[in-house]
Amino acid sequence: MNEPGTLSYGSGGALHISVDAEKYRLEAEDLKNLLFYGRVIPITQDRSRATPGGILVSEVAIEGHAAMNASGKAVMLHTRVGSYIIPLISFQRVARGEAISAPLFPLVPGVTA
């Protein structure tokens, strides 16, 4: 079963997802599409690495997606390390900066919310 994670407010209105040692982002401009229009948005991860020449290369990779659940009362987050759910009200409070963070709850494989 997946380990619990945390959703937290970040700089510029982006949201950060922490699960185990993995760190992901939901970009601020994508949040409007999710919250107001119910669209699926990408979950990204910054993959900075040093080249053999010592140059730091920053790459952003899509590592999953976030979507409203069928009832519209929760947000589901699907990443490479697992799938999680958070109540919509908690997600909105973090997105507005009213709460600094909120817990994510693991989704049980094979169960749709």
Kindly report, residue by residue over 37-55, the tens digit of the pLDDT.
999 999 999 877 777 887 7
Note whether residue 110 is domain-resident.
no
What confidence score (pLDDT) does residue 14 get? Answer: 95
- Is the model's pLDDT at 113 over the cut of 60? no
What confidence score (pLDDT) does residue 1 get? Answer: 45
Note whether residue 88 is domain-resident.
yes
What confidence score (pLDDT) does residue 46 get? Answer: 84
Q: Which domain holds residue 50?
A: 5-104
Note whether residue 113 is domain-resident.
no
Note whether residue 109 is domain-resident.
no
- Is the model's pLDDT at 110 over the cut of 90? no
C-alpha–C-alpha distance, residues 100 and 93, integer Å: 8
Residue 23 backbone dihedrals phi, psi, to 5 degrees:
-125, 125
H or E segment and range at residue 25: strand 22-26
Q: Is the pTM of this model over 0.85?
A: no
Alpha-carbon torsion (10, 2, 111, 102), positive or negative: negative
Query: How many domains does the chain fold into?
Result: 1
Note whether residue 77 is domain-resident.
yes
Note whether residue 35 is domain-resident.
yes
What confidence score (pLDDT) does residue 70 get? Answer: 92
- Is the model's pLDDT at 34 over the cut of 90? yes
